[in-house]
A and B are shown apart, each in its own frame.
Chain A
Amino acid sequence: QVQLQESGPGLVKPSQTLSLTCTVSGGSISSGGYYWSWIRQHPGKGLEWIGYIYYSGSTYYNPSLKSRVTISVDTSKNQFSLKLSSVTAADTAVYYCARGVEQQLVYFDYWGQGTLVTVSS
């Protein structure tokens, strides 16, 4: 059973960079075939896909966030990470990491429990 766990600071100051890590257990990121993703949910609101990375390092980002997002992978630690720069209060959200699997198109079959990140001075 694959499990994902997010970690990182719960509070980030405006204009700084939000950094989160997702640790994967029960499966190897480098085994291939999956798209390791970040998705967020603003308080009381809907879901927003941020982007994903393939084990090879290739990435794809939400066009509306692309200029501020970097997703990277560390196969030696079985982790992948999110960096979101120049944050504002609008980036306050619960951030989820998830595994994307491709069958016809990619969908997300395993999710972490989520971590709340608040942007405030």
Chain B
Amino acid sequence: QSVLTQPPSASGTPGQRVTISCSGSSSNIGSNTVNWYQQLPGTAPKLLIYSNNQRPSGVPDRFSGSKSGTSASLAISGLQSEDEADYYCAAWDDSLNGLNYVFGTGTKVTVL
């Protein structure tokens, strides 16, 4: 069971803005940076956002990330059909058991 909680689904029409939330705790998001990954159907995850709000080279600027307290968000502005995918947040979690890289429960984005 993941320690980072995301809504199971989100949707929008082309051109709309979609926001995905990621809720954690003080041991993960509250004290560490957040990354976001996009997984297109049948493919490996791809890094979308790192260090809360940084985009790797080649990622369109309509993808943006933010963090506040123990929560983070991914926004997709100007939604396109090729954005239909699963999105996962991730962060390092420093618990009593040790350090662990944890992923969110995932959000399936549908373009209507």
Contact = CB atoms under 8 A, between A and B. Distances in A.
Chain B binds chain A = yes
B97 A64 contact: yes
Nearest to B105: A46
B91 to A, nearest CB: 8
A6 to B, nearest CB: 10
Number of contact residues on B: which range applies?
A: 20 to 34
B45 A105 contact: no
A20 B99 CA distance: 24
Contacts of A111: 44-46
Contacts of B64: none
B50 A103 contact: yes
Contact of A49 (B33, B51, B98, B103): B103
Majority secondary structure of chain B interface residues (helix, strand, loop or mixed): strand
A48 B100 CA distance: 10
A47 B105 CA distance: 8
Given A107-B35, A107-B90, A112-B44, A46 B103 contact: yes
Contacts of B88: 46-47
A52 B103 CA distance: 16
B100 A107 contact: no
Given A62-B100, A105-B51, A106-B92, 17 more contacts: A46-B104, A47-B90, A63-B97, A63-B100, A64-B100, A103-B50, A103-B51, A105-B32, A105-B33, A107-B33, A107-B35, A107-B47, A107-B50, A107-B90, A108-B37, A113-B43, A114-B44
13 contacts: A46-B103, A46-B106, A49-B101, A63-B95, A105-B51, A107-B35, A107-B47, A107-B90, A108-B35, A109-B47, A111-B45, A111-B46, A113-B44
